[in-house]
């Protein structure tokens, strides 16, 4: 009997939504038809499993100018919650208490404060993506390339520069190092240069300019063109152990875990195209990015997987 009542209720609430979005009128409630759903008030509802979409949809509910009883508010709230409950199982569970707290706050304040029951709290802003997990990957290495646009005499450079080494039998480039930012550059006779070891994009650019300046000072007509970041490597720690055997079973199409070859799991994420090395200690290395945002996105994508995973 409850199920039919629930269905009717949902149909009503869906109709109500459309109605509200257009008109902002008070609700003529289906109070009579809505069964008194025995639910706890919204504050106690654990909405932490709800996905992000809920936060984006709540603003639409904020237009409600309703003088309904808090019971209906709460049941509407729970209606929304229950609606999403079916989706929650298909999405990765996000059990972050921080997020849960923010969503439940949204829950209470979304119903615009006309009743004495709901507190007059302002709408909390959407939490930005990086703060959801609370962990920000730290960049460890940036690889960039620059074209100096002039042919170089590597022997001359190796002779005149203090910080250069050149061993043509081993490798056909001069290896030059500077102290600040602490980086290494490979300078080829065609005038192309690879700069590695910087900890941020700006550091990499500054270092590349310094190398170009050194080459200039040595007498070559070097220019600084086509600076491009080719690869970024970052690492972070989620601070809990990870069952790699289980992760490779559930995400077989992306993961490769061979303990006999390498202790970490190699996860090739498709979007964004990043390779993650996940270790049992909870440390994660992300590589293959051309932009910082890709690293952050990749980590935000993997964090719920890892977190949802450890509770199983």
Partner 1 sequence: MSASVTRCPGCGSSNIVDDDLYCQAQRVCVDCGSVVSEGVLTDDWTGDTEISYSRTTAVARKPCLNLIKGLQRVKAICRILRVNSEIENHSQTYYTQAYQHEAFIRVSLQKKEVLAGCCVLVSCRLLNWPITMGTISCLLDADPVVVGAVYQEMIKILNIKAPVFIINDVMEAHSQEYKISSLHVPEELAENSRDLTKRAVALVELAADTWIVTGRHPTPIMMASIYLSWQSLKPNKHRLKLTLDKFCQMAKVNKLKPAMKRIAEMKEVLCKLGREIPWVREAVTPDNVMQQVEDILNYRFALLRRALRTHEETLQAESEASGEDSLPEEAASSQVSEHGEQHSNAPTAEECELNAGSAQRPRDGNDDPHTEPEGNTGGGESQAPAPNWGKRVLFAPPCVVHPKRRSVERPECKDVTGDEEISDSEIDSYIRTPREAREFALTQKMLSESEKT
Cis peptide before 272 (omega within 30 of 0): yes
Closest CA to 46 of 89, 75, 81, 13: 81
Q: Is 292 exposed, middle or buried (0-12, 13-18, 19+ CB in 10 A)?
A: middle
Closer to partner 1 at the Cβ: 24 or 291? 291
Q: Is 259 in the site for partner 1 (CB under 8 A)?
A: yes
227 — phi, psi (to 5°)?
-70, 125
Q: How far apart are CA 308 and CA 312, in angstroms?
A: 7
Closest CA to 10 of 62, 80, 106: 80
Quote the Cα angle for 29-60-15, to 5°: 40
Q: Is 263 in the site for partner 1 (CB under 8 A)?
A: yes
CB 44 within 8 A of CB 100: no
Q: Tell which one of 102, 203, 269, 298 touches partner 1 (CB under 8 A).
A: 203
Mark residues 70-109: x for contact with partner 1 by CB under 8 A, - for none.
Answer: --------------------------xxx-----------
Considering the complex, what minimum distance in angstroms separates the CB of residue 263 from partner 1? 4
Q: Is 279 in the site for partner 1 (CB under 8 A)?
A: yes
Considering the complex, what minimum distance in angstroms separates the CB of residue 6 from partner 1? 28
CB 124 within 8 A of CB 109: yes
Q: Tell which one of 7, 23, 165, 258 touches partner 1 (CB under 8 A).
A: 258
Considering the complex, what minimum distance in angstroms separates the CB of residue 56 from partner 1? 23
Q: Is 178 in the site for partner 1 (CB under 8 A)?
A: yes
CB 234 within 8 A of CB 284: no
Mark residues 211-250: x for contact with partner 1 by CB under 8 A, - for none.
Answer: --xx--xx-----------------xxxxxxxxxx--xx-
In whole angstroms, what separates CA 173 from the centre of its chain? Answer: 38
Q: Tell which one of 81, 264, 276, 306 touches partner 1 (CB under 8 A).
A: 264
Q: Is 167 in the site for partner 1 (CB under 8 A)?
A: no
Interaction site with partner 1 (CB under 8 A): 96-98, 133-136, 138, 159-163, 178, 180-182, 199-206, 209-210, 213-214, 217-218, 236-245, 248-249, 252-253, 256-261, 263-264, 279-282, 310-312
């Amino acid at each position: 009997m409850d199920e039919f009542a629930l269905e009717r209720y949902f149909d009503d609430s869906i109709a109500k939504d459309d109605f509200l979005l257009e008109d902002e009128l008070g609700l003529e409630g289906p109070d009579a038809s809505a069964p008194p759903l025995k639910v706890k008030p919204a504050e106690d509802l654990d909405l932490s499993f709800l996905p992000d979409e809920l936060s984006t949809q709540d603003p639409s509910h904020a237009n409600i100018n309703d003088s309904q009883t808090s019971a209906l508010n709460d049941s509407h709230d729970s209606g929304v919650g229950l609606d999403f409950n079916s989706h929650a199982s298909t999405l990765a569970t996000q059990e972050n208490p921080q997020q849960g707290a923010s969503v439940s706050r949204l829950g209470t304040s979304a119903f615009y404060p006309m009743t004495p029951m709901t507190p007059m709290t302002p709408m909390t802003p959407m939490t930005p993506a990086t703060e959801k997990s609370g962990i920000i990957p730290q960049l460890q290495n940036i690889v960039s390339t620059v074209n100096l646009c002039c042919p170089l005499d590597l022997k001359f450079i190796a002779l005149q520069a203090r910080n250069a080494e050149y061993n043509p039998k081993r490798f056909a480039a001069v290896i030059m190092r500077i102290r600040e930012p602490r980086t290494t550059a490979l300078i080829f006779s065609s005038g192309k240069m690879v700069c590695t070891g910087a900890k941020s994009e700006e550091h990499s650019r500054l270092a590349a300019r310094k190398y170009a300046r050194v080459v200039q000072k040595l007498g070559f007509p070097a220019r600084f063109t086509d600076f491009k970041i080719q690869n970024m490597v970052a690492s972070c720690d989620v601070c809990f152990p990870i069952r790699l055997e289980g992760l490779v079973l559930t995400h077989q199409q992306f993961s490769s875990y061979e303990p006999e070859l390498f202790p970490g799991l190699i996860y090739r994420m498709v979007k964004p195209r990043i390779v993650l090395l996940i270790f049992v200690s909870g440390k994660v290395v992300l590589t293959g990015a051309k932009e910082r945002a890709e690293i952050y996105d990749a980590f935000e994508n993997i964090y719920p997987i890892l977190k949802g995973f450890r509770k199983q």
